[in-house]
Amino acid sequence: MLRLLAHRDFPFYTPKGAFPAGGAVRDLLLGRRPADLDYVALDPEKAARETQRRLGGSLFPLDPERGHYRLVVGGRTLDFTPLEGSLEEDLLKRDFRLNALLWKGGAVFGLKGAEEDLRRRVLIPVREENLYEDHLRSLRGVRLAATLGLGLPQGTRKALSRHARFLRDHPEALPARERVREELSKLLLSPRAAFGLRLLERVGLLGVYWPELALLVGLEQGGVHHLPAWEHTLSVVFHLLWLWPEASLEARLAALYHDVGKALTRRFDLEAGRYRFLGHAEVGAEIARASLLWLRFPKETVEKVALLVRRHMDRPPEERKALRRFLLKRQDLLPDLLYLMSADRLGAKGVEGEAHTLLEAFQEALAEPLPQRPLLSGEEVMALLGLPPGPEVGKALKALLLAQAEGRVRTEEEARAFLLYWREHGAPNAP
Ligand SMILES: Nc1ccn([C@@H]2O[C@H](COP(=O)(O)OP(=O)(O)OP(=O)(O)O)[C@@H](O)[C@H]2O)c(=O)n1
Ligand SMILES: [Mg+2]
């Protein structure tokens, strides 16, 4: 039986014979502005065309056989799919009760329990079997809990855990990797990403989708680490978003994968009397690359994350000039690397203070922008030093750029003087 949940307007155009359904209606009731809209329609093509006549935009027949049409208009995606069976039957096929909603004639309708779930802000499947109708749904559940700030009651957790075990035993049932990637991205982009990752682990989905990260669970570290490697990872994600709420997806992925190499590099060092993880940044960068490529993240994202992981253990020098050189060499990784390094320290014990010292030093060092190019061109350098084209010219340009970064050289004249000195003596007190 459909239940009337509320009388209210739907704030977007709705053609005749089409009913806004799912997440958009849910967002409306939760006081969020929906980005994308889904409509179930008696005749989806007709509804999509009529909407296009009214609003403009581009129409894409996604799957005309099955009646799937998409209209992209004003930065929004409107999807039209056929209503199969009655409205109630449609809702009964959906994933979670608070997603099984639709708007019709000035009112919102839902299934039994939806109203309570919305009020309590909890996620409960329409039926446990529905998780098995589309195997992405357990992962979606965790992602929705993180993005919408929903609780997962015992019953839901148990159902998700059972589904995770099913997936572990039936890897052939795993959803397409692109869909997994989209869920991970949405989860990480939420301010509650660390909470979502913890849930993933708790219900057993971490091991299903990210076996390389699951190896960190309970991996004791010692030293400055009061937390096992996975708990430390969660703390780093948490602190990254605390320091820098607008962090890029790459920075968030790097925080997630930064210590993934630790499971394979853990050795007890008798002299030091503790575990060490020599080479974990390099090993971790390779694991992160393989994992992200598997999930079909774009090449640029993968390379950036791998580099961030590889460089996260670099020790920034304290002295200002040296720090400017250090930053110049890692310019492409800024500011992500700075925040990752700071969050890494906030996730350990006894070195938290370093995070703030680092951020202050970075801020001070970057107050003056880093140079983007040498003050002299290759031709000018060749003429000045009497050099033929070749690697020497590149070295000279690089030395010049470093000198600019240090603030030793600010004008073309100083650049020429610097290069003449450099030819005779090498870079002044460079390491
Ligand atoms: N695997 C899925 C995906 C979607 N849906 C249904 O389709 C609606 C729209 O799906 P989608 O836009 O993918 O997700 P949303 O729940 O709207 O989440 P988001 O806020 O990320 O759009 C959902 O609310 C849900 O009713 C479902 O039952 N099972
Ligand atoms: Mg949606």
Q: How far apart are CA 43 and CA 33, in angstroms?
A: 26
Alpha helices per DSSP H over 204-351: 205-209, 211-214, 229-243, 249-257, 262-265, 280-294, 299-311, 320-329, 336-346
Q: Rounded to whole angstroms, what are the CA distances from 48 to 15, 16, 39, 87?
A: 8, 11, 9, 19
What is the reported pTM?
A: 0.93
Domain segments of the chain as ranges: 1-120, 121-209, 220-365, 378-425
Could you tell me if 2 and 109 are in contact, meaning their C-beta atoms sit under 8 angstroms apart? yes
Q: Is 143 in the pocket of ligand 1 (CB under 6 A)?
A: no
pLDDT value of position 429: 60
Contacts of 81 (CB under 8 A, 6+ apart): 38, 39, 40, 41, 44, 66, 67, 68
Residues of the chain with pLDDT under 50: 431
Could you tell me if 244 and 339 are in contact, meaning their C-beta atoms sit under 8 angstroms apart? yes
Q: Which atom of ligand 1 is nearest to the CA of 143?
A: 21
Q: How far apart are CA 204 and CA 181, in angstroms?
A: 18
Which residues, in sequence order, are bridge partners of residue 122?
Answer: 151
Best residue among 83, 88, 99, 127 to mutate for probing ligand 1, ranked by most atoms within 8 Å of CB: 99
Q: Is 44 in the pocket of ligand 1 (CB under 6 A)?
A: no
In this structure, what are the phi and psi dihedrals at residue 70, rounded to the nearest 5 degrees? -125, 135
pLDDT value of position 295: 98
Q: Is 88 in the pocket of ligand 1 (CB under 6 A)?
A: no
pLDDT in tens, 326-356: 999 999 999 999 999 999 999 998 888 899 9
pLDDT value of position 250: 98
Determine the 3-state secondary structure of 326 from DSSP.
Answer: helix
In this structure, what are the phi and psi dihedrals at residue 75, rounded to the nearest 5 degrees? 75, 5
Q: How many CB atoms lie within 10 A of CB 214?
A: 18
pLDDT value of position 426: 80
pLDDT value of position 431: 42
Q: Is 190 in the pocket of ligand 1 (CB under 6 A)?
A: no
pLDDT value of position 191: 96
Best residue among 70, 95, 133 to mutate for probing ligand 1, ranked by most atoms within 8 Å of CB: 95
Contacts of 386 (CB under 8 A, 6+ apart): none
Closest residue CA from atom 17 of ligand 1: 23
Best residue among 32, 33, 38 to mutate for probing ligand 1, ranked by most atoms within 8 Å of CB: 38
Q: CATH class for domain 1-120?
A: alpha beta
CATH 1.10.110.30 matches 121-209: yes
Q: How high is the ipTM of this complex?
A: 0.98
pLDDT value of position 222: 75
Architecture of domain 220-365: Orthogonal Bundle (1.10)
Residue type, 317: P
Q: Is 282 in the pocket of ligand 1 (CB under 6 A)?
A: no
Q: Is 94 in the pocket of ligand 1 (CB under 6 A)?
A: yes
